[in-house]
């Protein structure tokens, strides 16, 4: 089986920062042609030069903008739904507007992008692959993460429905579920030992993930090497959800 992504065109949302940025760079390394969605126009311009990618400034929560963006992109073989947000509050302080924002971005917008990607693949007779970047928060309760846990659990449920309905069209759909991943933002957020050490103690491998350790399983799931894998939610969590 071939782990390479030569001659495959893959769309990555949330590509201008965090895990999405590392995914884009790793996919380029494996030979993929990239279409990158993001909101940071300056970073998109940098990635266009660095990776030779086609870049589009798109707010994925704007359904009309997403539909319009798909009208002008090349024929797709894959999608990585990576754009997402997190707003943390204790249960007694949760605000309805924050929950709505989280669900709109992490679930509704991701579903719309997946819908458009699937339509695009079917229209062009491509048997492609969709990977949703979920979280260990879909599988375990985390304090302060009510909205985020709910949104990622919904994303995993969405993965299974997409798998069921798109499988007959030859489109595979999977999720990856990372633990804390040490992007620059996460390194700052988890710098406090009082916060960091209890989480590390709950991870059997005793460390957080690197962005590369998330990007490589995503590349695998997009590749022909994963040709019989669909409907899976793959923990990338050092064993956090094993207990």
Query: What's the distance, CA 103 to chain centroid?
Result: 15
Catalytic residue list contains 148:
yes
- Report the alpha-carbon distance of residue 114 to residue 130 in Å, rounded: 7
Give kind and range of the element (H or E) at residue 196. Answer: helix 193-201
Give the Å distances, CA to CA, from 196 to 89, 199, 208, 215, 235: 18, 6, 10, 23, 20
Count other C-beta atoms under 10 Å from residue 127's C-beta.
Answer: 13
Q: Which of 43, 48, 95, 152 is catalytic?
A: 152
Phi and psi torsions of 13, nearest 5°: -95, 160
- Report the alpha-carbon distance of residue 154 to residue 60 in Å, rounded: 17
Catalytic residue list contains 195:
no
Query: Are 42 and 17 within 8 A, CB to CB?
Result: no
Q: Which of 43, 48, 148, 195 is catalytic?
A: 148
**Where in the sequence numbering do the catalytic residues fall?**
148, 152
């Amino acid at each position: 089986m071939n782990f390479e992504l030569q001659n495959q065109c893959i769309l990555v949302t949330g590509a201008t920062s965090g895990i999405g940025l590392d995914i884009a760079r790793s996919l380029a390394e494996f030979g993929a042609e990239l279409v990158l969605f993001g909101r940071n126009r300056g970073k998109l311009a940098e990635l266009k030069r660095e990776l030779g990618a086609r870049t589009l400034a798109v707010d994925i929560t704007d359904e009309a903008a997403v539909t319009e963006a798909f009208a002008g992109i090349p024929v797709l073989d894959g999608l990585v739904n990576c754009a997402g947000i997190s707003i943390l509050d204790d249960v007694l302080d949760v605000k309805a507007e924050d929950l709505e924002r989280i669900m709109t971005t992490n679930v509704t917008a991701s579903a719309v992008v997946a819908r458009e990607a699937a339509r695009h693949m079917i229209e062009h007779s491509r048997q492609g692959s969709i990977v949703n970047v979920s979280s260990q928060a879909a599988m375990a309760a985390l304090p302060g993460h009510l909205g985020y846990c709910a949104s990622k659990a919904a994303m995993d449920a969405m993965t299974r429905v997409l798998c069921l309905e798109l499988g007959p069209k030859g489109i595979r759909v999977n999720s990856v579920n990372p633990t804390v991943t040490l992007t620059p933002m996460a390194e700052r957020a988890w710098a406090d030992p009082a916060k960091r050490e209890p989480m590390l103690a709950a991870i059997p491998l005793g460390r957080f993930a690197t962005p590369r350790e998330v990007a490589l399983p995503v590349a695998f799931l997009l590749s022909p090497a994963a040709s019989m894998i669909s409907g899976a939610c793959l923990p990338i969590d050092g064993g956090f959800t094993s207990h």
